[in-house]
Structure 1
Amino acid sequence: MKKKNKWVAWVLSFLLMATYMMPSDRLNIYAAEGDGAFGLITINKVSQNQSSIQPGDTFGLVVEVTASKQGEGNKVYISNAKATGSGLDSSKTNFSVSETEEISGVSESKTITISGLVYNGGSKDIEVVVEVGRSLQTTSPDSNDTESYTLSAKSSEDFVDVLTVEKQDNLLVKTGQTQNVEVKVTNKGTFTVNQADMKLALGSKVEGVEIKTSTATVKNIKSKETKTGIFTIKVSEDAKAGVYPATVSVAGNSYSVNIQVDSSVVPSALEVSTSGSKIYTPGVASEVTFKLSNVGQRDAKNIRFEVVNSENVSIVEASNVKRLDIIQGKASQDITMKLRVNSSFKGDSVPIQIKVDYLNSSGEKEEDTQYVYLSTSASSIASEVIISNVISPTDTYGVDQNFTVKFNVSSKSGADNLKISVKGDEGIVPKSQNLFFVTKLGKGETKQYSVTFAATHAAITSSHPIEINVEYGDAKAPTTISQYGSANISNPKKDAEGDEDEKLKGKPKVIIGEYIVNPTIVQAGENFELHLGFLNTNSKHTVNNLKANIKVIEQGENQTGNVFTPVGGSNTFYIDQLSPGETVTKDVTMYTIPTAKAKTYEITLEMAYEDEDGNEITATENIGIPVEQVTKIEAGDIFVEYAQVGIETTLSTTFYNRGRTDVTNMMVYVEGEGFTVENNRTFIGNFKQGDSQTYEPMITANQAGTLKGEVIVEYEDAAGKTQEIRKPFEFLVEEMMMEEMPPVDGEMPPVEGETPTQGPVSKKWILAGVGVGVVVAVAITLVMLKKKKAKKEEMMLDEED
């Protein structure tokens, strides 16, 4: 055992002597081959220069190192210091050493700062490496040491649902401009977000729209704070106006936004018109010139113009289709065709359907359907009734959006038994009264009408005609005239699918397809008939168990009850089943309370029904009922004072407004033969409810006997209609009294057949004649005053009754 230990001691002594005698460069190589314990450098500590970092932050590391044991007097140099890891962007890093890169002596410490590190939000675990060499010029390290370190940081996972982009208005940009748009980002977390990187991208490529600045950086967003990221978008002049989907990405999440392109340039749009002065005779082929106008500012190209043949109109001697290469913006072009109106056509204007398709400035195909109306020879014949001032809506309406068509009906010399009906094209249904009856239309009288319509899901995207028909005269062979309005409807779902989509198919809709009020204007205190048509607008599915309640909220004066109440029935309707497209009608008699004010009242129909699967559906429809108060103007007895031929006397009567409304433009006058009236026409004007008015013109009889006449009252009622009252009267006229004078100076009047003698007249006879005249006049006056007083007392008693 002692011998073996002796040999070990000799080997160790030999190795120590060999090491001492080896060159110094061989010493470094030996040290470089060792691990940390025997290397030239050791990492003691790693720390951050920021307590906590977030994605996007730039930070640094502080590294403390110590030289390992080596021969005294040897020197080493720090040649590199770096940090690596998937969560770092170290492309711009550098390092610095306190004082100098040289480390001399044994166990000397140095502080190294690694700066320019950027945290990307990935893994927090990194590796720190410090390399050393024997000289500053070394290209490869003689030794290094590595230390693992976990960053004090918030990773991308910590930001999930912290930064959000709330729903906001469209990002609005205009053609021909480069504009900035703002997107709001909100910090919903409990800590401040140092930096948020946002990115804007279009959902798909849009011609003429370019996002020039697609990224935005927002810094220091406090908890619950909202800030904006700014992006730049360039839009060309030719970009198509519209709304385009885009996304904003932030903190790993994407949010939908819309970029809305508005154009100050009107796109190409074609309109068709004709000259309205030409008259077309049914059965005779005539040329018609259509004017095709581009009302937009962009060119329309590859234009196809088609006149649709129908039972009333056909194109002859040529094709019904014309093609044009281009119509520039704000330009027009004439298209001439020869057409024939069906010889059996009886209307005064015939509608012609025109289809136009073309390529717009973006190269996309545009299609449109329009109607023009040609006057026929029937319209050149003088008609007693005229449809005029047809006002069609100018906007474009979607499904279930109400629109109104207005028109006037007038008569030149008066017409009786008018039936006015207004109906829409396929898929266009009335939402207000569309059938009117007028017993009499006075000479020169004009009535105004308006009918509200809406498109159903069956209506296609097109311009739809609205037909106005008026029948009047003999009920067995009425005269008919017609006129047309139009409405533009947009229904993309119908265009794309050819029918209602599945969701709408599963939920049928019931509307009031028609309603008629008889009389058209309801009198307060009287009954009226209400005719309702319940229409199932769905083309596929049935409606079951429909229940409709009539509801009127408004009341009369002093809360005297609902304005309308059903008579002899309930305010509820039941319909077992409504087939697709079917209309079921219901009639109800309604009573209007006497105190109802003159205006149009709204009746609400609350409906509840089931689809084929038993799902309950509710809907509400409103209809208008015009009400007018009863006008009651009465005339009292007519008195005429004692009348003689050629002598003025007084006619007297009193008028009373016993109705519930005021009347206007009231005028009173007298008509008759055998007498004249001074200041005949008296204009009273407004005659208020409860008022009375006395009428006392002076009349002069032109002949003796019993004369007859009428006192006439004309006025306008609350509905603006002219009304007339005639009150007949008669009075007795006596011959003018020719009184003989006594002889002067006491002479007797001459005997018949004798020649009177000349001489003075006696004063006695003169005084006697005057006395008799006075007595007669007083007697007549007393009799007339007594009669007049008796008549007035009788009239007052009638009023009290």
Structure 2
Amino acid sequence: MKKFLVYMCALVISLNVMGVDVSAADTPVIKNDILVQSFSTGGKTISEGTEFDLNVTFSGSIPGTATDKKIQIDPGSFVVRNQGLIINYQNNINIPMKCSGTNNTITLTCSYTDSGTTYQSINKITVDMVKYSDSGSSSPTDTSKYTPELVIENQEIPTANAGSDIDLALKLKNAGTYTAKNITVELIPPTDKDFSYETNTISLIDKIQQLKKTETAELNYSFLVKDSTPAKTYSCQLKYTYFNLYGDKVEKTQDIYIKVRKGFPSVDLRLSEVTNDPEIIKAGQKVQLSFLVNNNYGLSTVSALDVTLEGLGKGFTIVDGVNGRRISNLRPDAKGETVTFDLFASSDLKKGSYPITVNLKYKDSSNAEKEVKKEIYLMVDSGNTDIAIRNIKAPTGQINASQPFNVSFDIVNTGEVKAEDLIVTVKGDEEIVPMSQNIQVINEMEVGATKQLTYKFQPTEEAKTKTHLLNIEIKGKDEDAFTTINQYVGVYVKAKKENADGTTSKPIIIVDNFTIVSESTQSEITNAGENFDLTLYFKNTHDSKKVQNIKVSLGAEENSDTDKAKAGSVFTPVESSSTFFIKEIAPGQSIEKQLKIFTIPFAASKVHNLKLDIYYEYESDEKLLTETIKDAIPVTVIQPSSFITSDIKIPETMIVGNQTDLEFDISNTGRTSLDNFTVRVEGFSSTNSRNYIGNLETGRSTYYSNEIWVDEEGEITGALIFTYTKPDGKEEEVRKEFKTVGQAMDFGPSEGDMGMDMGEFDKMPGQEKKSNKTLIIIISSVAAVAVIVTIIIVRRKIKKKKEMNFDE
């Protein structure tokens, strides 16, 4: 009897310990901090059978640290159509409903969990209803209106890793007022082509005899989600067919969602630590390519792994003639094997990124042969081919019509590599004609070399009095590898009819000089969509006559974009008119005029001409004469570069040595190409600290994937550094910093504590761990039982000892 009482005491103590903790953890706190601010039924008159949308707006705020934010709907005698009775919390919700009774009170319970405590706010709203009477009607009764409403009550989205089972435990509820009979429920799996599965359930069709009002039925389905299924949320459907008590048939569908996370395939071969020596590959050069092959993300060992390269011959060849490396086996817990190939870059390779395919053929744990291919990129840089135009010599004084003149200049190779096949052209307008070959070809120029070129021109007899512009243009044979250079030089020409008599010649206004300063770049190059400051110097070239009533009109070429919305003048004056007035300019005098000009955002990256129409008056033989002169100012415009990334998620805490996937999209949102785009990881350890993306064209997106981890405890500050080359040849760097806290792996009590369940550390990533509260409950219960057992054993020994003493 004593033994029985002792054991009963132990059991009561254990149950009390467990029971008190569990109830305390599961009891919600009524806080009522989320209240219904307003609601509406869309202006409808509500009566039995009316379908309407109930729109509800809540007031109050939920802490930012809160989780599990939900709204539970108790519709009373209303019916919620085509959705569950538990939905995610939002400040404004829309509930599709149907009136099917007389109880017009709806209860909305808002709940959330913060710091381990669940809080609830209970809101009751009353919907106005109108009751209609069918008495006295000779029409037959419409029995179809007595329709049951079947819905899935639990709307939690089940989650599974690819390669594992997913179980759907659904609760079907008759949320209507009327009984449903002969119910057939069919589960239609996701039709997304990416979703690959095998069903573990004998049938996907359930039959239920009937469900009365508020009754429920359990539905259970199971799938094996294959490891080839990408991680995302998939939609499947439940198709209902049932009848009311009068035999009216009802058919409806309801969407159910399944979330698949990244799985853990049995074999997952990856390439990391990709390096090439030299780092910058030049055409005609040997290069050593190395990379690490690992199976760290798989679960089983592979054997007879053959590594070969594909895609050779289009730019790279094997130096030693052996295109293959054998790895005997590769275990998931091994670091991996480094593979090296000696390659030769073809001498005719141009600057750019070249793909190399790595073929991995292996045998899995069942000795089946399999194959996977990975792609890496080798960047070939022909070096910087920079050409400068220097020492331009052109006439600085007046040139008469039909008078030949020379233009000469030096071309200097200021780059890092030899320049080849340069085409140098000098062109004037239709009134300046070449007297020599105006196109010259330079076959090659060594680094630092200088070559002087001379061109001969002559104004035509019809040449007008003004400053004529000549364009010096240097192009490469390969336009993708060499950016065209343009530079302008002006020559002042006097018309023939004014040459004879200098005393009666008309005065001429020329743009003696000009300066351009961009507001953003503080240089002569301006960004599209931005302002630049333009200073013009107008000079009266006559030595005795003044000019007066000068009107200068600005004009610009039209934007060449075919989109009408982007059409229009490239340049527009800011805070001023496109026409301005100068009272007079004395003989030989210069007048300065400062303007602010806006460049339209869609202007192409090139040299645009800002046109000038100069109208003025002057006196000759006591007569007031007028003249109009046209001129142009060359303005170099480039498109600003920009890019965005999708959300970059780095955990607030990271376990030391544990890898974290870093994945995001990069999109070029600018209007110009981002060349030599590179992503570099700083402050964190990673499988690839520097990723070369290549040239990212405007509007294009690319995907970045890497694994990072921390090597020490404490606060860690790291960064992602994005670098690329802008259209003006300058390198841009964008830095995004992140902070995290490195933590050591928590192994809990020592392995000598036999009461601790060490199996928890064997769980796969992605599986949920038991809460600390549950763990404390279990440990407390086990400890209580251990104490009681110890007391019983001690009491037995004391009793036995007493009996032995009594016998003696």
Shorter chain as normaliser: what TM range? Answer: 0.3 to 0.5
Larger relative CO (CA 8 A, sep 6+): 1 or 2? 2
Structure number with bigger Rg: 1
User: Which TM-score applies when normalising by structure 2?
Assistant: 0.34
- Give the TM-score taking structure 1 as reference length: 0.34
